[in-house]
Amino acid sequence: MQGCVHHGQMFSTKAFKVQIRLQHLLAVVCVFAISVNIASAQSTVWGLQRDDRFSVKTTIDRETVIQLADNAPVTSTSEDQLELEYKVWRATPVETVVQVRVVGFVRIGKSGDAFTDSMFDQRLKLLERIPIRIDVDTNGVVTNMEGYRESLEQFAGPDQNMLKLLLEACPQQSFQSWIGRPFWMTPTDNDDEDGKSWERIDQLSLGLMGGLRTVATCRIDSQENNSAKIAISGTARQIAPPPLDRNASPRSVSFTDVKVTAESFRGEGRMLLPEQTVDDDPNPVKLRPWFAGLTLNWSITGEATVKSGGRSQKVTFEHRQKQTSELQPNVQMGRLPFGARPPSLRTPQQPAR
């Protein structure tokens, strides 16, 4: 009997110790899970941190063929280069606030342009004084922009007619789309079951003829080690030009009955990621933007009625535009945070040692 009690006590003691160990193990697992969730929640877009900065240079090639009434078609071409600097002003678990400013503009070649180059270039340089501030969420979507009107006011100077023209010809959504395109290279797991496809909303300004709103689908086309090729396609619809303000002074040129069709829209992006690292690595990999390059092509046709000098005439046009953006080598960034890698891209196999 005493032996049974003794064995029972031993069994109870062992069971109690096992239970304590299981509880301790469970507590460790819970703490680890919580810490992982917190680390995940605190990650920013691309793992960017305060004072990180990078620059993107974009080359814009345009060709427009315009035919006014029965006159012979006129072809206008231009090629510009614009460099933007992106600097992280604040990084939070919800969004990353980035300041964007113009740091360079070059007119490579042109024909048929109506404005004076020297005046345009001088005013464009004034934009360096007014940085644009954008809020970018963890999925790479620009959710807010500040400084848009201030930048246009700086460009227009005291000329209120030019300011009004700029506000109509380059609406805020088009401005925001243009600045936010490098962040298209941010795969998410929200739009596709395997995270290989995601969407971006883009708006291209066509000046006083309105614009095009495109739902662009980005898809991981191929991946090799730490680089990925992104195929971009989409459908676009016309955005009507702003209505004429009857109380404002009449424009020298205005357009009505505008019809615009996007014949094609396509693009290609490139991502280049740092090697995966671990949280306690004494030599973590340097951070870099996921964006490496982006090329977008539009082919557009349309017609409208142009009013100028009291006369109305029909105008038809064809417009082709290509925008090629490249990350510049002057990247200044910190260390790669743990887990700062898109989950839809598999981790490359490390070579055997």
pLDDT above 60 (res 26):
no
Mean pLDDT of 196-209: 89
What is the predicted pLDDT for the residue at 34? 29
What is the predicted pLDDT for the residue at 22? 37
Of 71-80, 109-118, 175-184, 323-332, give the lowest mean pLDDT range: 109-118
- What mean pLDDT value characterizes the chain? 77
What is the predicted pLDDT for the residue at 37? 33
What is the predicted pLDDT for the residue at 74? 94
Are residues 135 and 97 in contact, defined by beta-carbon separation less than 8 angstroms? yes
Per-residue confidence band for 283, with pLDDT thresholds at 50, 70 and 90: low
Total-model pTM: 0.76
pLDDT above 50 (res 41):
no
String of b and e for 298-315 (b: at least 16 CB within 10 Å)? bebebebebbeeeeeeeb
pLDDT above 90 (res 184):
yes
Of 2-11, 155-164, 247-256, 271-280, give the lowest mean pLDDT range: 2-11
HSE at residue 70, side-chain half, CA atoms within 13 A, is: 0
**pLDDT digit string (tens) for 75-120?**
999 898 889 999 999 998 888 999 999 888 777 765 444 444 556 6
Q: Given this structure, which CATH class describes domain 43-327?
A: mainly beta
111 three-class SS: strand
Are residues 298 and 46 in contact, defined by beta-carbon separation less than 8 angstroms? no
What is the predicted pLDDT for the residue at 246? 60
